[in-house]
Amino acid sequence: MKLEDLKIIVTGAARGMGAHFATRLHELGAQVAAGDVDEAGLAELPAGIHRRHLDVSSDADVASFVAWAGEQMGGLNALINNAGIIRDALLVRKNRETGAVERLSRKDWDAVLAVNLTGATMMAQEVLAHMLERDTTPGVIINISSIARHGSRGQSNYVAAKAALAANTQTWMREFSRYGIRVGAIAPGLVETPMTSGMNEKARERLRASVPLGRIGKPEDIFVAVKFILECDFFTGQTIDVDGGGAMG
């Protein structure tokens, strides 16, 4: 698909990779609808990008945003499922000072699944339905998974969501290829974003040192993979790990 033909939604688009994806696609001629709960961040995107509040964990928000984006751009043919949050904690741990056994809270489990998996799934469902109802295919959906899908200490909730999203990339490919809709996924490693900049410095350095290429990724590194999936009409159903050769521990 040619980038200038895209009418694409980017979720989690206020900052980090999402803002970079939305900006670069706009620069390359695509029509872009950017959604995020961070309206101040959305306001900083370049002029010409459609923007609106979007909480992907809200079914009502998802439905209204997709309808609005279709109206603004005269249709839809692509989605980047980028919205995500982290609420890291060991599933169970023993406090070294008190001896108390602590658990990952159900609240933090549910919050991460609601945004990273359920929200992404409902966005895909709504965009796919929009494309089929209005016959705006061919189309493409990109799920932003994570290298954590292979397992990452202290991230049971995040791992579960990102692994499921990669698996459903295959599922949705099998369901929608007959309509000319491709589905791909990207699993970034450690990338410079506001989310990762808030990590514990020792943990961040440990992860950086584990990367064979010896550096943390940049949003543009991930955008190169996004661009490939969008433009390669013979790519579907697969997840591309973009991690500098190293896996998170």
- Token reading at 174: 């099998």
Residue among 21, 65, 158, 172 flagged as catalytic: 158
Burial class (CB in 10 A: 0-12, 13-18, 19+), 241: buried
| 179 is a catalytic site residue | no
Q: How many angstroms separate the CA atoms of 149 and 79, rounded?
A: 21
- Residue 141 pairs in a beta bridge with 79, 183
Element (H, E) at 93: strand 92-94
Q: Which of 50, 42, 52 is nearest to 72 (CA)?
A: 50
Cα–Cα distance, 78 to 36 (Å, whole number): 17
Indicate the residue type of 150. Answer: H
C-alpha distances (whole Å) from 222 to each of 56, 58, 204, 216, 233 are 22, 27, 19, 12, 19
- Alpha-carbon distance 213 to 75, whole Å? 41
What one-letter code names the amino acid at 194? P
Active-site positions read: 158
